[in-house]
Amino acid sequence: MPTLDAAWMPRHIAIIMDGNGRWAQKRKLQRVRGHEKGAETVRRIVTACRELGVKALSLYAFSEENWSRPRLEVRALMGLLRRFLVGERATLLKNSIRLVVSGRLAKLPDSVREKLLPLIAETANNRGMTLNLCLAYGGKEEIVDACQAIAGKAASGQVAPEAVTPEFFEQHLYVPDLPPIDLMIRTSGEQRISGFLPWQLTYAELYFTPVFWPDFTRADLETAIADYQARERRFGKTSAQTAKLSRPRKDAR
Ligand code: IPE
Ligand code: IPE
Ligand code: MG
């Protein structure tokens, strides 16, 4: 396993958990078996991130576009999500993990929301790590929903157009207080964003691995983090300027 620099951990990791279907198909299993296996990976990776000192983890669990999958697959995914929420409650509480969600929650079935909403409330004061589940999530939808909220305020005279700065805009995202994403990982070999957190990914480092999500291990996560730690994040500056910047921050955990 690679050696990681504890002072230079990504604060916020975001993952597009892809390849459940192909993992199952390769084994001549139903796609839903891949999703079940994928749920085990979620448990493993949440725990690993918590132990590594990552402050926020965003997981793409169900996209706006995924509503157009076969009805039975959507139903199976919702059932799995409900079971995940019930099964992980104790772990979230024990490890001081705050659960938040990004997405159009009104579209989720009541059976999911009745588990989700109490757990969000119950974990709201946890400070160990934030787990941001992206459910019924679309990047364009998130931006449009923020615009609608801001336009409403503008129409009623609560905000002047010039007051709409990036910082102000951010306050209208689904989860306003998340740090910017440092590292975005996508499994299964696909190299695209598929609508995932476009605003938050603006300056993220991107990492793609061919490993299918059900096979993704803590070692794979650490390899991705090591790759991230070897990069120079310049944020528009020159390399010479960045040499100073990229020294471990005083505030880094
Ligand atoms: C990711 O795996 C899980 C969801 C999108 C819900 P996929 O189901 O997309 O797996 P592939 O891409 O078909 O292999
Ligand atoms: C993206 O995966 C959404 C999730 C992982 C939940 P998809 O498998 O749905 O993405 P595309 O359609 O292949 O880009
Ligand atoms: Mg896929």
pLDDT surpassing 70 at residue 236: yes
**What confidence score (pLDDT) does residue 251 get?**
46
Q: What is the mean pLDDT of residues 205-230?
A: 98
Q: Report phi then psi at 130, rounded to 5.
A: -105, 125
In this structure, is residue 130 part of a structural domain? yes
| The pLDDT of residue 138 is above 90 | yes
Instruction: Tell whether the model's pLDDT for residue 2 goes beyond 60.
Output: yes
151-180, pLDDT tens digit by residue?
A: 999 999 999 999 999 999 999 999 999 999
**Does residue 249 register a pLDDT over 80?**
no
Per-residue pLDDT tens over the stretch 178-195: 999 999 999 999 999 999
Residue 246, in any domain of the structure: no
Q: What is the CATH number of the domain that holds 191?
A: 3.40.1180.10
Contact 25, 71 (CB under 8 A): no
What pLDDT, on a 0 to 100 scale, did the predictor assign at position 244? 62
Q: What is the mean pLDDT of residues 28-57?
A: 98
150 domain-assigned: no
Rounded to an integer, what distance in angstroms lies between the CA atom of residue 195 and that of residue 86?
28
Classify the C-alpha dihedral 13-133-124-167 as positive or negative: positive
* Residue 42 placed within a domain: yes
18 in a structural domain: yes
- Over residues 99-127, the pLDDT tens digits come to 999 999 999 999 999 999 999 999 999 99
- Any domain includes 190: yes
With a cut of 90, say whether residue 1 has pLDDT above it: no
Give the C-alpha separation, 68 to 75, whole Å: 12
CA 143 from chain centre, in angstroms, equals 16
CA distance 178 to 170: 10
Enter the pTM of the model: 0.96
Decide: 17 in ligand 2 pocket, CB within 6 A: yes
Start-to-end C-alpha separation, the chain: 21
Instruction: Quote the number of domains for the chain.
Output: 1
Neighbours of ion ligand 3 (CB under 5 A): 18
Q: Is residue 1 part of a domain?
A: no
Write down the pLDDT at residue 253: 39
Tell me which residue range forms the domain holding 39: 9-137+179-233
Question: From the candidates 20, 66, 126, 177, which is the catalytic residue?
Answer: 66
Task: Identify whether 215 is a catalytic site residue.
Answer: no
Task: Establish whether residue 60 lines the binding site of ligand 1, counting it when its CB lies within 6 angstroms of any ligand atom.
Answer: no
